[in-house]
Amino acid sequence: MSETIHHTGIVTRINEEAVFVRIKQRSACSGCHAKSMCSASEQKEQIIEIPDRTGHFSVGEEVDICGRINLGMEAVILAFVFPLILVVAGVVVGLSLGCDESSSGLISLLTLVPYYGALYLFRDRLKKRFVFTVRKLNS
C-alpha cells in the first residue's frame, strides 16, 4: 500500500458529481518529505475537486482529503520532466538541421504546443488517474 498525503479542508461547494474542498497551507507542509511534489505546499489556499456522489457532505463541513504520494511524482514528470526533455530535444534537432540558435529555440518551444494539447485532450483520463479521496473528520 502506498503512503498518502493528508490535508484538512472545508467543503466550499457540492454538486451531483463532486465535492469542492478548500485546503490551507499548514506549517506541517514545511516538514513533509513530499512537499516538493505537492502543489498545496506552494500556495496559501487551494480548491480541490474530489469526485463524490454519496451526498454525505455539507457545505462548511471540515473534512480530511488524502492522495497517494506516488501520484505526486507522476504529476511532476508530466508537468515538468517531459516538457524539459522536449525542449532540449527540439534545440538539439534544430541545431543538427543547421538552424541558428533562435530558430532552434523556437522549434523547441513549438514542440510544447502538441504536448500540452495532448494533455488537454486527455484531461478527463488524467482526472480519473489523479484522484483525491475525502472522508469526514471524527468529531
Rounded to two decimals, the pTM is 0.63
For the chain, how long is the longest CA-to-CA vector?
67
Cell numbers placing 25 = 497551507
> Tell me: the pLDDT tens digits for 29-84?
555 666 665 655 555 788 888 888 788 888 999 998 888 888 878 888 999 999 99
Range of the domain at 126: 4-136
Count the domains in the chain: 1
Q: How far apart are CA 62 and CA 42, in angstroms?
A: 22
Handedness of CA 3, 24, 17, 127 (dihedral sign): negative
**Sequence-distant (≥ 6) Cβ neighbours of residue 90 within 8 angstroms:** 104, 107, 108, 109, 110, 111
